[in-house]
Structure 1
Amino acid sequence: MKPVTLKEIAETLNISITTVSKALKDYPDVSKKTRKLVRETAAQLNYRPNSFAVNLRTKESKTIGLIIPEVVHHFFSTVIKGIIAQAEKKGYFVIILQSNESYELEKKQIDLLMSKHVDGILISLANETSDFKHITDVMDQDKPIVMFDKIAKIVNCSKVIIDDRKAAYMATQHLIDTGCKRIAHFRGPLLPQNSIDRFLGYKKALLDNDLPYDSSLVYICDCSDKSFEEGKNNAAQLLKDHSDVDGIFINTDMVAIGAITEFNKRGIKIPEDISIVGFSNWFMSSAITPTLSTIDQPGYQMGKMAFKQLYKELKALKQQKEVHPKIIELETSLVKRDSTKTLI
């Protein structure tokens, strides 16, 4: 069936197209009776507004693009909820794409979103991304981009972040405060900025407390889709390499849960033999035995703030005002549970 037009509604009611258009937009210069009649007739005829025509007039698609590394990851799922909650309030739809930590796929998804004429883009970079031309090309077309979580410091756009160094320092300091002397780190891949910063926070906490940094105590976890298995495998390898380790700061909760599972299997007591702090405060961190001490990363708040900043920039561009990139830093906190000892 062909879409119903304003003209057909007007002919059905024997009124002008302009009156129909105004009635559907609830203009006060059209009587309440006429507005009600027009809406009822439009519903009966199954009228749907031509969003493409509206977009051409307003030069807005009322859609934004969202690119994340993983949809199923607990942290990113909470980010998505925060973004969608705010987008709905402002009448925006969100196109969600998953890069699978692939630079090449991320580039294609940027091209796809541009071809769909989205108004702006929110992105958390893939682990593989080290060249940012696909990002700057979008910005050169006056299309606002806001990065969150995994960002590029050299790209001059707005960003919503946490202080990963400070959070990692806090996690490592907690292990030290509870008596740990030989602390390992299961870190993320070498490239992403947040992985780098968490490693640097760990290292600084050791040095500030006169504990030696030993590179052999740092284990890399670079397969996000196999993080549970990597946690198990690195825990097994750690026991083989360093039987004297008494604490571990782990880059994500899923890796930490894998490590706890392996230690439980091998009869290693947590926290009596080894204390563990994770990162993210995934819901499973309070369900594993023992429950996992972790850094609470405010995913929902990050999503809300990322959309709010993008919306501000969209409004500024619409009003032909200059956009000034902004860094929004959210607070983190340490959640103390049973995988670490009480303070000594």
Structure 2
Amino acid sequence: MKEVTLKQIAENLGISITTVSKALKDYPDVSKKTKAIVKKEAKKLRYKPNVFAVNLRTRESKTVGLIIPEVVHHFFSSVINGIIEQAEKKGYLVIILQSNESYKLEKKQIDLLISKRVDGIMISLANKTVDISHLERVKELEVPLVMFDKISKLLDCSKIIINDREAAYIATKHLIDSGCKRIAHFRGALLPQNSIDRFLGYKKALEDHGLPYDSSLVYICENVDYEDGINAAKKLLEDHKDVDGIFAITDLAAIGAISVFNERGIRVPDDISIMGFSNWFISSAITPSLSTVDQPGYEMGKQTFKLLYKEMKARKKNKEFEKQTVELATRLIKRNST
């Protein structure tokens, strides 16, 4: 079906294109009668404004970009829901891209979003990202940018985070308070900042409570998923017979460990206590239910878009925008695994 234009409406009604345009925009110098006639004709013809032309005039695309490591993921899907809810309220569409924890793909996606002239970009970094020159380019082009969850401390932009170090400290302390003396840590890859901070929180809690840090009790889970948890638990049982507690970087890794212990008749928490991180929906459904740290994904999504919108609004008015770092609260969830 051919697109209906202002010219077609104007010809049908025998008035000027300018009058039609003003009538549809409710200009005060057009009579109510003319506005009603024009709007009735536009509705009959199913007229829709040319969004591209409007965007050229306003210099806005009304789209924003979102790059996340993984879409099929309880935490990130909660973030997406929060972002989309806020974006829709302000009339924005969200282009969602998945980096698959790949720096190369993330870099291409940034280039794509820039070429699409999005009004702003939100990103949680891939585990493989070290070089942030592609994000520096975003800043050079003065495209509003907000990082969340997995961030780079080297980049001067707005950020929405939790205190990963403090949350990990509290999680490890809970294991210590539960009577654990020999606590292993299933950590993430070496590069992501949240992986580093959770490891440092675990280590500090041991030191503050007089428990020696043993590097052989730290197992790297590159993908921080269920399979990593299974493999790390099996290796732990081969290496150490005296471990009585585990702090895992994610709930999935913790649940993988629980499955191994259940299969081998190792009682959780009687023989070994386990703490997760994130509070996935499955954490309360497994047996035993998993103690964890509640990470506010939905709220993080809402705050990420709100902060991006503030910067986009400021740039539109050619006003200075002071970069902000917003820290959201986490919460310890005690269940049956500790």
The amino acid across from 1:259 in the alignment is A
Partner Cα separation in structure 2 for residue 116 and residue 96 of structure 1: 13
Report the equivalent of 2:336. Answer: 338
The amino acid across from 2:234 in the alignment is A
Alpha-carbon offset, residue 257 of structure 1: 1.1
Alpha-carbon offset, residue 29 of structure 1: 4.3
Alpha-carbon offset, residue 32 of structure 1: 4.3
Report Cα offsets for 1:49-99 as digits up to 9, x if no partner.
111111111010010000000001100000000000000111111000000
Partner Cα separation in structure 2 for residue 30 and residue 252 of structure 1: 61
The amino acid across from 1:264 in the alignment is N
Partner Cα separation in structure 2 for residue 40 and residue 245 of structure 1: 75
Alpha-carbon offset, residue 28 of structure 1: 4.5
Give matches, 1:210-249, under 5 Å.
210-224=210-224, 227-249=225-247
What TM-score, normalized by structure 2, do the two folds share?
A: 0.97
Partner Cα separation in structure 2 for residue 30 and residue 274 of structure 1: 77
- In the alignment, structure 1 residue 19 sits paired with structure 2 residue 19: yes
Q: Measured at CA, do residues 262 and 39 of structure 1 come closer, stay the same or move farther in structure 2, by a change above 3 Å?
A: farther
Partner Cα separation in structure 2 for residue 153 and residue 62 of structure 1: 29
Report the equivalent of 2:299. Answer: 301
Q: Which moved more, 1:117-126 or 1:318-327?
A: 318-327
Alpha-carbon offset, residue 46 of structure 1: 2.5
Report the equivalent of 2:10. Answer: 10
Report the equivalent of 1:268. Answer: 266
Alpha-carbon offset, residue 33 of structure 1: 4.3
Report the equivalent of 1:92. Answer: 92
Q: Measured at CA, do residues 251 and 12 of structure 1 come closer, stay the same or move farther in structure 2, by a change above 3 Å?
A: same
- In the alignment, structure 1 residue 125 sits paired with structure 2 residue 129: no
Unaligned runs of at least 5 residues, structure 1? none
Alpha-carbon offset, residue 239 of structure 1: 1.1
The amino acid across from 1:38 in the alignment is V
The amino acid across from 1:332 in the alignment is T
- Secondary structure, aligned partner of 1:339: coil
Alpha-carbon offset, residue 38 of structure 1: 2.6
Report the equivalent of 1:185. Answer: 185
- Secondary structure, aligned partner of 2:185: strand
Alpha-carbon offset, residue 324 of structure 1: 1.4
Alpha-carbon offset, residue 192 of structure 1: 0.2
- Secondary structure, aligned partner of 1:38: helix
Alpha-carbon offset, residue 15 of structure 1: 2.5
The amino acid across from 2:65 in the alignment is G
Report the equivalent of 2:153. Answer: 153
Q: Measured at CA, do residues 177 and 39 of structure 1 come closer, stay the same or move farther in structure 2, by a change above 3 Å?
A: same
Q: Among residues 277, 281, 284, which one is paired with 1:283 in the alignment?
A: 281
Report the equivalent of 1:176. Answer: 176
Report the equivalent of 2:202. Answer: 202
Partner Cα separation in structure 2 for residue 214 and residue 45 of structure 1: 74
Partner Cα separation in structure 2 for residue 36 and residue 218 of structure 1: 72
Partner Cα separation in structure 2 for residue 263 and residue 27 of structure 1: 71
Partner Cα separation in structure 1 for residue 135 and residue 281 of structure 2: 33
Q: Which moved more, 1:32-41 or 1:119-128?
A: 32-41
The amino acid across from 2:278 in the alignment is S
Partner Cα separation in structure 1 for residue 285 and residue 31 of structure 2: 59
Report the equivalent of 1:138. Answer: 138
Partner Cα separation in structure 1 for residue 283 and residue 164 of structure 2: 19
Aligned CA-pair RMSD: 1.2
Partner Cα separation in structure 2 for residue 156 and residue 275 of structure 1: 40
Give matches, 1:95-106, under 5 Å.
95-106=95-106
Task: Detail structure 1 runs of 4+ shifted over 3 Å in the superposition.
Answer: 26-37
Alpha-carbon offset, residue 17 of structure 1: 1.8
Q: Measured at CA, do residues 30 and 263 of structure 1 come closer, stay the same or move farther in structure 2, by a change above 3 Å?
A: farther
Partner Cα separation in structure 2 for residue 276 and residue 35 of structure 1: 68
- Secondary structure, aligned partner of 2:277: strand
Partner Cα separation in structure 2 for residue 83 and residue 151 of structure 1: 17
Partner Cα separation in structure 1 for residue 280 and residue 32 of structure 2: 52
Report the equivalent of 2:63. Answer: 63
Unaligned runs of at least 5 residues, structure 2? none
Report Cα offsets for 1:246-284 as digits up to 9, x if no partner.
110000011111111111111111111111110000101
Q: Measured at CA, do residues 37 and 267 of structure 1 come closer, stay the same or move farther in structure 2, by a change above 3 Å?
A: farther
The amino acid across from 2:60 in the alignment is E
- Secondary structure, aligned partner of 1:127: coil
What TM-score, normalized by structure 1, do the two folds share?
A: 0.96
